[in-house]
């Protein structure tokens, strides 16, 4: 039984003189109680994935593939059904960049009460919901521009929790928070999963993923390159890109990955990481497949 | 709040002062002789001695600064002067008509704001749709129609061909007083014409800013929370787009005043606009100058009011206001 | 994500094609109007005194698409003559307004400092006044005449040009190539002539073109009120004013036809100017697609 089953999701943006390949042939699933972390550098297409599931992409986006929640394909079911059945109700979003995600002319309390009311909950619960997200009640009476980055972050988290959705998509929910608050937020997400909910955590913070995730999907240049249980990924990364990411962490080797990721407007036909990969050879000119998208994985049994 | 009013006054007073100087200079350079105007047809029969006495009484041959200061002093004391075309006190002329003009402009503004906010928001929501394209094409077409022509066309269709509404005036010719229903019936066409001619600009502005706001992060976030379409549209998209709109309403008021002059003339309404045209035809400086100054003062007051409304509506301004 | 969202959806082919149709139509209307207006005296001479009493106040027909007036003259024919007057007055007034605005904006933008603040305060002052009322005041004090009308238009319409010229100059002053020219020892006059003018002239020309419809409206409004051009200069506004009286006797075409000519020509000018603006500044695509 899965909450969300994504099959072959691709998202492309048509620009005036280019096509941006933001997500390519992505397959993922989330079960109840699972905390799935999608990690990768910024600009690899993680946030587009979230917006695609909510049907919030701009009109120049072309979406293909399926994303089933129960029997509903959220990519095809249409705006009306998304608004009535999916958004907020079965799928919650903690949006990226909280500073711009809050309506500037309304207080946190008015936004939170409005969301609670929209989901037939008591608007008086605002204080409790805010406290769950680590936000003081008095901060609710302020306008977004009066909030610090961390307070705004906790407010958007509280807004996403207000409708208590079975699956929460949290897009970089720990930006701008200091260490204790990061831990508080991560524990909050973990607790939701332990109580039967599910969370899709989108982050570039590998330490955060290591702390709470059950499974990890590593995304590089619009594709998932490795999708395995979290302990395995962190103990023995299979894809050279995952290994390089881990090596870049300050408490590991602290060596940055050489070179730059390819532009999403000009992806190579073969393995996108080949240009930066120490293990690359001629085989990498063709596209690798499997749960670890690599011709030369570091851990061979993972391929099987 | 007080600081804002004080800052506004610091601008408004020099504006009014500069306007009065400019108008006085223009009036002084006019080839019309106020004494001759005052005497009217009698000027031809009055003896030169009497005319000279009249001129001395009026001080029309005094140096410019003296005349200006006298005029300004009188204005400040509430003496607006003597209308040379209507042969009555300017204050009385204006007092009898200002109310009708304010009524016309007030109702029109309310109709324009309600119409453009509602239609503009819906057009933005369904942008690219039939309503959006229809409204925009209509708006561009109406924007290129002179308001007086629109008024004539409305009279031709709704008064003469269909006979639904009267072609002019404020009350029925047989009426003895000014009944509310009668006046309202007479105001339908003028208000509609003025509103239609002013709406396109507002409508297009609302449509564009709401359309832009609909792609804002906070609107997407509101949708992601599963709020109803109407709540997102009016409570989030329109509400943020509303603020810049408020100040623009203030800057667009002079346009509305200009339109009311033409509409009042076409529909023969007894307002300030129509009387200022009569004053202009007779080069009636005191009346025309007073109307222009008062209108300017009203526009400045309205600007202040929109700024105060802005301050009340936008928390970001309220803090440091 | 943010920059992707900024990329607006574009139905390119459709938009381009409909844009072409609109532009072509606008160009045709304008060319036809200008040609008819300028060449009318040669092609279709109007004898203002010719009176056809057997043909008075006829509604539009095949022979007279614009109907005839109470002296039996063809309405469309007279409208073309009126258009000629209105367009010429509008053009001259727009040019005068541009000169005033260019000078004020130029001085403000080049000098900066207190002259800039003072001049811009003057601009703000005048824009707080109702245009038409101010225009009426000017004409009333100078007595209605061709010169007074042009002055009335020019004195109320130069503000936008002044603002455009000033802000263009201010933004150009911070651009590297101006610094480079100054560092290279170019004189003020040379920088102005070689570097600043070529940049702002196209924008000024565009602003002037966009002003013509407004100038035409102002003229027709004044003429309509009886405060505009003297009656022998049969501008469109004068014709509509005349037609207003016959409206009550049922001759609607006498005021509607000249008005329709104004609408078509101003729409054509606005559509062409919008295309031109797109060319000049592709980042801000005009919303006008007919």
What does DSSP say about strands A91-94 and A167-171: parallel, antiparallel, or unpaired?
A: parallel
Q: Looking at CA atoms only, how far is residue A20 from chain B in angstroms?
A: 19
CA-based torsion, B115, B126, B205, B199: positive or negative: negative
The span from the CA of C60 to the CA of B162, in Å, is 20
How many Cβ atoms sit within 10 Å of the Cβ of residue B280? Answer: 28
User: A133 with B241: CB under 8 angstroms?
Assistant: no
User: Of the ranges B76-90, B249-263, C179-193, which is most confident?
Assistant: B249-263
Whether A302 has a pLDDT exceeding 80, the answer reads: no
Q: Looking at CA atoms only, how far is residue A217 from chain C in angstroms?
A: 20
The span from the CA of C128 to the CA of C148, in Å, is 22
On chain A, the residues whose CB falls within 8 A of the CB of B315 are 104-105, 107, 143, 145-146
Residue A26 CB partners (closer than 8 Å, separation 6+) = A6, A8, A9, A10, A49, A65, A223, A224
Tens digits of residue pLDDT in C156-196: 888 888 988 888 888 877 777 777 777 777 777 777 777 77
CA distances from A30 to A83, A170, A197, B144, C122 (A): 21, 14, 10, 58, 66
The residue whose two tokens read 């002019």 is: B168
pLDDT at C96: 93
Chain-chain contact of A58 with C10 (C-beta, under 8 angstroms): no
Subunits with at least 3 CB pairs below 8 A relative to chain C? A, B
Selecting from B136, B149, B254 the residue whose C-beta is nearest the C-beta of C259 gives: B149
Q: Looking at CA atoms only, how far is residue C280 from chain B in angstroms?
A: 21
Whether A126 has a pLDDT exceeding 50, the answer reads: yes
Question: Which of C4, C8, C10, C283 is best to mutate for the A interface (most A CBs within 10 A)?
Answer: C4
Whether A79 has a pLDDT exceeding 70, the answer reads: yes
The residue whose two tokens read 């346009």 is: B255
Chain-chain contact of B226 with A51 (C-beta, under 8 angstroms): no
- Which residue, C245, C214, C218, C219, is CA-closest to C234? C219
CA-based torsion, B60, B63, B65, B69: positive or negative: negative
Whether A265 has a pLDDT exceeding 70, the answer reads: yes
Tens digits of residue pLDDT in B304-315: 887 777 777 666
Whether B211 has a pLDDT exceeding 60, the answer reads: yes
pLDDT at C1: 40
How many Cβ atoms sit within 10 Å of the Cβ of residue A32? Answer: 14
> Hey, is C66 helix, strand or coil?
coil
Which residues of A lie closer than 8 Å to C, measured between beta carbons? Answer: 13-16, 20, 22, 47-48, 51, 58-60, 96-97
Residue of A nearest to B313 (CA): A105
Please, which pLDDT band fits residue B321 given cuts at 50, 70 and 90?
A: very low
Query: Which has the higher per-residue pLDDT, B47 or B213?
Result: B213
pLDDT at A201: 93
Could you tell me the strand order of the sheet in which A198-203 lies? Answer: A91-94, A167-171, A198-203, A35-39, A215-220, A223-229
Residue A303 CB partners (closer than 8 Å, separation 6+) = A238, A290, A291, A292, A297
The span from the CA of B81 to the CA of B70, in Å, is 11
Mean per-residue pLDDT for A179-204?
Answer: 90
Q: Give the mean pLDDT of chain B.
A: 79
Residue C187 CB partners (closer than 8 Å, separation 6+) = none
ipTM: 0.87
Please, which pLDDT band fits residue A215 given cuts at 50, 70 and 90?
A: very high
Tens digits of residue pLDDT in C99-132: 999 999 888 888 878 888 888 877 877 777 788 8
The span from the CA of A197 to the CA of A95, in Å, is 18
pLDDT at B177: 67
Say whether residue C3 is in contact with chain A using an 8 A CB cutoff.
Answer: no
pLDDT at C54: 62
Whether A272 has a pLDDT exceeding 60, the answer reads: yes
Residue of B nearest to A92 (CA): B225
Which residues of chain C are under the pLDDT cut of 70? 1-23, 26, 33, 35-74, 250, 280-290
Every domain of chain B and the residues it spans: 32-79, 96-283
The pair of three-digit structure tokens given for residue C73, joined into one six-digit string: 């003259």
Share of chain B above pLDDT 90, in %: 3
Share of chain A above pLDDT 70, in %: 98
Radius of gyration, CA atoms only, chain C: 23
What domains sit in chain A, N to C, each tagged with a CATH number? 4-90+165-303 (3.40.50.300)
- Interface A:C, Cβ pairs < 8 A: 25
pLDDT at B297: 81
pLDDT at C14: 35
Please, which pLDDT band fits residue A214 given cuts at 50, 70 and 90?
A: very high
pLDDT at A35: 93
The pair of three-digit structure tokens given for residue A142, joined into one six-digit string: 């302020």
Selecting from B27, B276, B303 the residue whose C-beta is nearest the C-beta of C136 gives: B276
The pair of three-digit structure tokens given for residue B270, joined into one six-digit string: 């007894």
Q: Domain B96-283, CATH 1.10.3720.10 — does that match?
A: yes
Least confident of A10-14, B139-143, C251-255: C251-255
Least confident of A12-16, A178-182, B59-63: B59-63
Residue of A nearest to B241 (CA): A105
Tens digits of residue pLDDT in A16-75: 888 888 898 999 999 999 999 999 887 777 888 989 999 888 888 899 999 998 888 988
pLDDT at A36: 93
On chain C, the residues whose CB falls within 8 A of the CB of A47 are 1
Least confident of A187-201, B44-58, B91-105, B260-274: B44-58
Beta-sheet strands, E only, within chain A: 4-14, 19-30, 35-39, 61-69, 72-73, 91-94, 167-171, 198-203, 215-220, 223-229
The residue whose two tokens read 């101006």 is: C178
What does DSSP say about strands A61-69 and A4-14: parallel, antiparallel, or unpaired?
A: antiparallel
What domains sit in chain C, N to C, each tagged with a CATH number? 71-288 (1.10.3720.10)
């Amino acid at each position: 039984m899965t909450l969300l089953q994504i099959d072959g999701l691709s998202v492309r943006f048509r620009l005036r003189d280019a096509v941006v390949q933001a997500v390519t042939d992505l397959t993922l699933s989330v079960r109840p109680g699972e905390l799935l972390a999608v990690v990768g550098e910024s600009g690899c297409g993680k946030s587009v994935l979230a917006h695609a599931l909510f049907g919030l992409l701009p009109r120049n986006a072309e979406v293909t593939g399926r994303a089933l929640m129960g029997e509903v394909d959220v990519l095809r079911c249409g705006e009306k059904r998304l608004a009535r059945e999916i958004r907020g109700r079965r799928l919650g979003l903690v949006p990226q960049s909280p500073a711009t995600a809050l309506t500037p002319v309304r207080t946190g309390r008015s936004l939170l009460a409005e969301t609670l009311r929209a989901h037939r909950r008591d608007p008086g619960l605002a204080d409790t919901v805010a406290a769950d997200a680590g936000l003081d009640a008095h901060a609710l009476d302020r306008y977004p521009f009066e909030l610090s980055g961390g307070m705004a972050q906790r407010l958007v988290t509280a807004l996403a929790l207000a409708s208590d959705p079975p699956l929460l998509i949290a897009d970089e929910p720990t930006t701008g928070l200091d260490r204790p608050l990061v831990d508080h937020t991560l524990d909050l997400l973990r607790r939701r999963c332990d109580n039967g909910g599910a969370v899709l955590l989108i982050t570039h913070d590998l330490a955060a993923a290591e702390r709470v995730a059950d499974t990890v999907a590593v995304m590089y240049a619009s594709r998932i390159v490795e999708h395995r249980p979290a302990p395995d990924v962190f103990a023995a990364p299979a894809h050279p890109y995952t290994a390089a990411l881990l090596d870049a962490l300050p408490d590991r080797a602290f060596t940055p990955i050489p070179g730059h990721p390819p532009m999403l407007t000009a992806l190579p036909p073969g393995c996108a990481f080949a240009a930066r990969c120490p293990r690359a050879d001629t085989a990498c000119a063709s596209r690798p497949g499997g749960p670890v998208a690599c011709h030369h994985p570091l851990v061979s049994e993972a391929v099987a | 709040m007080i600081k804002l009013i004080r800052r506004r006054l610091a601008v408004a007073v020099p504006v009014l002062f500069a306007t009065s100087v400019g108008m006085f200079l223009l009036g002084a350079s006019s080839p019309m002789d106020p004494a001759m105007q005052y005497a009217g047809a009698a000027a031809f029969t009055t003896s030169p001695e009497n005319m000279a006495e009249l001129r001395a009484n009026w001080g029309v041959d005094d140096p410019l600064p003296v005349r200006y200061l006298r005029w300004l002093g009188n204005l400040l004391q509430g003496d607006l002067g003597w209308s040379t075309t209507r042969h009555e006190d300017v204050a009385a002329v204006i007092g009898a008509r200002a109310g009708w003009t304010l009524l016309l402009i007030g109702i029109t503004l309310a109709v324009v704001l309600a119409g453009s906010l509602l239609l503009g928001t819906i057009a933005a929501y369904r942008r690219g749709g039939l309503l959006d394209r229809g409204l925009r094409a209509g708006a561009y077409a109406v924007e290129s129609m002179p308001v007086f022509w629109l008024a004539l066309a409305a009279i031709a269709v709704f008064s003469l061909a269909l006979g639904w509404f009267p072609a002019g005036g404020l009350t029925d010719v047989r009426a003895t007083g000014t009944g509310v229903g009668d006046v309202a019936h007479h105001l339908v066409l003028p208000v509609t014409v003025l509103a239609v001619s002013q709406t396109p600009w507002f409508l297009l502005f609302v449509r564009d800013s709401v359309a832009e706001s609909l792609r804002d992060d906070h609107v997407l976030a509101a949708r992601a929370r599963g709020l109803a379409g109407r709540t997102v549209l009016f409570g989030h998209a329109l509400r943020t787009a509303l603020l810049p709109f408020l100040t623009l309403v203030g800057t667009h008021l002079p346009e509305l005043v200009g339109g009311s002059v033409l509409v009042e003339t076409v529909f023969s309404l007894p307002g300030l606009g129509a009387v200022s045209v009569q004053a202009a035809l007779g080069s009636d400086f005191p009346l025309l100058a007073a109307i222009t100054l008062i209108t300017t003062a009203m526009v400045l007051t309205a600007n202040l009011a929109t700024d105060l409304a802005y301050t009340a509506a936008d928390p970001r301004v309220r803090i440091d206001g | 994500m943010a920059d992707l969202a900024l990329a607006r959806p574009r139905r390119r082919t459709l938009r381009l094609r409909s844009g072409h149709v609109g532009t072509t139509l606008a160009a045709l209307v304008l060319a036809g109007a200008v040609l008819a207006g300028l060449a009318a005296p040669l092609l279709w001479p109007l004898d203002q005194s010719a009176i056809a009493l057997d043909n008075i106040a006829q509604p539009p027909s095949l022979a007279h698409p614009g109907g005839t007036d109470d002296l039996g003259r063809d309405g469309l024919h007279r409208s073309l003559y009126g258009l000629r007057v209105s367009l010429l007055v509008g053009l001259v007034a727009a040019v005068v307004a541009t000169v005033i605005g260019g000078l004020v904006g130029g001085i403000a933008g080049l000098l900066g400092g207190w002259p800039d603040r003072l001049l811009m305060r003057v601009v703000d002052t005048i824009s707080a006044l109702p245009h038409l009322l101010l225009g009426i005041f000017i004409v009333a004090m100078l007595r209605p005449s061709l010169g007074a009308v042009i002055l009335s238009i020019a004195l109320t319409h130069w503000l936008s040009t002044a603002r455009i010229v000033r802000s263009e100059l201010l933004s150009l002053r911070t651009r590297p190539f101006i610094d480079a020219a100054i560092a290279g020892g170019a004189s003020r006059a040379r920088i102005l002539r070689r570097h600043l003018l070529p940049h702002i002239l196209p924008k000024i020309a565009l602003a002037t073109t966009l002003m013509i419809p407004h100038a035409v409206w102002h003229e027709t409004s004044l003429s309509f009120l009886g405060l505009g051009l003297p009656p022998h200069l049969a501008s469109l506004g004068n014709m509509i004013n005349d037609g207003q009286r016959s409206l009550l006797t049922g001759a609607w075409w006498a005021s509607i036809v000249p008005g329709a000519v104004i609408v078509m020509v101003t729409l054509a000018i606005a559509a062409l100017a919008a295309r031109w603006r797109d060319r000049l500044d592709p980042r801000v695509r005009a919303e006008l697609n007919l």
